[in-house]
Amino acid sequence: MEMSDKIIEDLNEFLKTANLNSYEINAFTALFSSSDLLTAREISGKSNVPSGRIYEVLEDLNKKGMIEIIESRPKKFRPLPLNRAFYNLISFQTKENSRRITYLFDQAKVLEQSIYESNSFMKTEPTKIFWSTAFGFQSIVSLYKKHCNETQQELLLNYFFNKTTLKVLNYAHALYEPIKIALERGVKALFLWSFPYDERPLSEDQKVYNLKFMQNVVKKHEELFGISPRKYDIEMKFIHRRIPTYYDIFDKKRIIFKLLNPLKPYQVFSCMNVLDPKLAKELRKQFYNIWAFEANEINSGEI
């Protein structure tokens, strides 16, 4: 078998794996094998793609970034450089897959809700997977325990300060235990703390106070829970302002939103648990923007 035949065979296999249909593969191969610009009729003849389908096939290949259309009479076509065509095809398929996955997650949430609300005989998990809420301390602890146990790579955690934080931490072992277990498995965690101030500038004295307060919180984490950057793959930072919505992100795909108790602002009143990779991606980007450009280091003198 000649090398050119082997390349064509490998190319066909690659394009098939990339979910191109047989007409698209044959048309692209015909173009790739020719050193000349070809008309749609010529491509149809070389590829055995029916003349009634050839323009649709060529438009699809152009949409996927694999060929160029030369505006002439009649129109002519040529393939992009092969490595560029591969890159464009992979980029196109990535976007399409992302759309499909987002759609599937959205539909799964709706169907899950319908099944739980019905008296259906269909078997489901005891708790919802795609969307659920938790009220009260024990339910919230159970929610965090479940999803910390499932986390394999990354935890992004938003926490809030108030005057009772150091005291409340003494009673937070149940919440921190599943986080610690995840850290022991090698999960990376970023803790982003926020003070309850608005956007107005703070005095230098207040900034110094905030830094010292945060340093005490870090010490408490090590004393009470054994959680420290010296032991695990974690980082802690803080910002001086209030975060409008508190949320934690698990493995880039699950978000737990936290609603504070208006009567007891040191408590989380309820949590909304959402499995949504697209939303998690956007919130993760927001988290890292704050982390990189606004959050303060704890052990440095920068405040």
**Using CA of residue 32, residue 30, residue 26, residue 62, what is the dihedral sign?**
positive
pTM over 0.85: no
| Listed residue (153, 158, 137) closest to 257, CA to CA | 158
Q: Determine contact, residues 248/147, Cβ cutoff 8 Å.
A: no
Q: Please count the other Cβ atoms lying within 10 Å of the Cβ belonging to residue 203.
A: 8
- Predicted pLDDT of residue 2: 43
Sheet holding 76-79, edge to edge: 38-39, 76-79, 67-70
Where are the chain's structural domains? Answer: 1-124, 128-297
Q: Can you tell me which residue has the tokens 């296999």? A: 13
Instruction: Write out pLDDT tens, residues 85-104.
Output: 999 999 999 888 888 888 88
β-strands 188-194, 154-160: how paired? parallel
Count of helices and strands (H, E) across the chain: 10, 11
Instruction: Write out pLDDT tens, residues 38-87.
Output: 999 999 999 999 999 999 999 999 999 999 999 998 999 999 998 999 99
Instruction: Write out pLDDT tens, residues 268-294.
Output: 889 999 999 989 999 999 999 999 999
Topology, domain 1-124:
Arc Repressor Mutant, subunit A (1.10.10)
In CATH, what number does 128-297 get?
A: 3.30.870.10
- Predicted pLDDT of residue 124: 58
| Listed residue (264, 299, 246) closest to 164, CA to CA | 264
